[in-house]
Structure formats: C-alpha cells, structure tokens
Amino acid sequence: MSNHSQNMFESGLGQVRLGVSACLLGAKVRFDGGHKRNRFLIEELGSHFEFVPFCPEVAIGMGTPRPSIRLVGDVEAPRALGSRDDGLDVTDALQAYSANRAQRLEGLSGFIFKKDSPSCGMARVKVYNDKGMPQRDGVGIFARAVQQANPLLPVEEEGRLNDSTLRENFVSRVFVYARWQVLHQQGLGKKGLLDFHTRHKLLLMAHSPVAYRELGRLLAQLDNASLDELADRYIERVMQVLKAPASRKRHVNVLQHVLGYLRKHVDATSRADLVEIIDDYRRGMVPLVVPVTLLQHHFRSNPHPWIGRQVYMNPHPRELMLRNAL
C-alpha cells in the first residue's frame, strides 16, 4: 500500500519510504479480523512518505481471523505460542520469515511498529513465564530481527508517536537517514561526507555538543583512514546521538548561536525582539517553531550561505507542524 504525494520537501530525497505494521494503515489483518488504523500516520505522515506494509503473522500463512499468539519463556528468545492453545507454535516460521525479510529492507528509511504485538512490538511486550505470569520486557520477534539487522534504521511504535517530542525526533531521524542513503546511492566520497556533516552541524549540536565535537575530530582523520570504515563509524555515531531528543536548553544554545550570524545585519530593536523570543522559548512560553520562524524571516532578508544549508532550520516538512508542540 502506498499513500503519498511526491516529496517536495527536499527534491533530492525523492520518495522517502517507511515500513509500517499493516494494521496501522487500516488493513484488516489483526487476529480478530480487525485493524488499528492510525489517523496521524495516514492523514498526516501519508502526504510525505510512501508506506510499505508488513504483517508477519499473515505472511507466514496464519489466516484472518486466526488464533491469537503470545510470547512465552525466555525474554531474550521467547517462543510464539497460541494464547489459548500452547500446542500452536509458530516460533520457527516467524523467526525464519523475520530473519529473511529483515535483511531486505534497503529501500526503507524508517519503520513504525504496532505496540504490544508479539510479532511487531518494539519494546515492553508481554512475555509469559511458565506460571502464566507476564513480564513487560519483551520485543516482538519480527521487530527484534528488523532492529538487529538494521541498527541504523530509525524505528518507533505508534503509541509513542502520540508524544510530540518523540514524534518530531523520529521524523527528523528518518530524514537524516534518508539523506545518508541518497549520499550512498550517489557514491560516497570524501567531499560528500564532509558536506553531509556540514549540513547537519547545528542539528548535532542541539542533541549533543560533546558528540558534535567528537564527530568533527573523527572526520579530521579522513586523509589517514579508510573512507568506508570511517563513514560507517560516523553514521553509526550520528544515528545514536540523534536517538535522544534535544533538550530545551540545547535548542536555546543553538538558537543563540544562529542569532550570532545576524548580529551585523539587524538593528537593535530587531535583535532585542529575537533575544526576547528565544528567552520566551527557554521559559516554555512559546514553542520552538516561533523563534526558528522569526530567525528564518530575518535570514530571508539577510541570506547567509552556511545557515541557509543547515538542516536544523528546516529538518522536516513544515506542513507536519512537528515543532509547534516542542
């Protein structure tokens, strides 16, 4: 199923594709014959992404409706058994499908899983012990395989996407990873790697100033190291750093840094307005979109080539309004 319009946000990215648990897209593939259609996914993200649906339980031949399954035994390596009939064991089939499919997700830039599912749950899935008591420490069999085989892939589950901070962070990471994939497809070179880093400097600074400096030192070794090996280390660290959402304090530091580029171009009144708006954001009185939009307004009149290329100023489509609640 594909639910999208051509991505006009960054023309160079083409169509950004997300793997999604099929029930979240309205497909009637749940064990009870129903679905879990997610409005945010379909009505908001759907305009900017192509969705690739997955339902591991249907893929291994379980019908709809079907007996429900649950995870049983060792939290790290549970069996997938029938909830009412533990003679039903689909563990081997699910693991075989998951291991095979997880190796073939090259075209995806992110994945959204169905929470609590024994196949698709990303975290805190119930795993039952031999006394029939559940522990919420498990990971769905398919979700585990996807994450193990694709450690860089941004993943989230639909329940956590109700949190505005996690939602913005996930979409931001998806676009970062999509840019990296395009860079690879075009042929990774030293110039391309340095340019990628330059464009993402403020975004990295907002997440971790320490990691930002560390990544700069790593790239300084480019002339004396294998490009592929260094690039692997670089993107692994970038995606790891971006997993933790940026704090308000660090956003303020970046906004003040950006303001510095306008110092010679705005009058005292405009500068005072900008300082005040950034402080309003620091105190939680306005969302992040307000100071960023005001800064962008001034840069339209006073363009700066470096700021103009910073992903931080425009990390995802404005229509998604993801910074309106940060």
Give 112-163 pLDDT, tens digit per residue.
Answer: 999 999 999 999 999 999 999 999 999 999 999 999 999 999 999 999 999 9
pLDDT cut 70: percent of the chain above it: 98
Provide the CA 278 distance to its chain's centre, in angstroms.
26
How many Cβ atoms sit within 10 Å of the Cβ of residue 123?
17
- Collapse the DSSP code of 250 into the 3-class scheme (helix H, G, I; strand E, B; otherwise coil) and give the result: helix
Residue with structure tokens 């700066």? 304
- The alpha-carbon radius of gyration of the chain (Å, integer) is 22
Beta-carbon contacts of residue 199 (< 8 Å; ≥ 6 apart): 179, 309, 310, 311
Apex CA 307: angle with CA 305 and CA 309, to 5°? 70
Q: What pLDDT score does 2 carry?
A: 43
pLDDT of residue 9: 83
The rounded distance, in Å, linking the Cα atoms of 84 and 81 is 9
- Note the pTM of the prediction, 2 decimals: 0.96
| 218, 237 contact by CB (below 8 A) | yes
The answer to whether residues 200 and 176 touch, using CB atoms and an 8 Å cutoff, is yes
Query: Over its length of 326 residues, how does the chain's per-residue pLDDT go in tens digits?
Result: 444 444 468 888 989 999 999 999 999 999 999 999 999 999 999 999 999 999 999 999 999 999 999 999 999 999 999 999 989 999 999 999 999 999 999 899 999 999 999 999 999 999 999 999 999 999 999 999 999 999 999 999 999 999 999 999 999 999 999 999 999 999 999 999 999 999 999 999 999 999 999 999 999 999 999 999 999 999 999 999 999 999 999 999 999 999 999 999 999 999 999 999 999 999 999 999 999 999 999 999 999 999 999 999 999 999 999 999 99
Look at residue 6 in the predicted model and tell me its pLDDT. 41
Backbone angles phi, psi at 57, to 5 degrees: -70, -40
pLDDT score, position 1: 45
Please, what sign has the CA dihedral across residues 142, 146, 149, 155? negative
Q: Angle 139-51-231 (CA atoms, 0-180°, nearest 5)?
A: 70
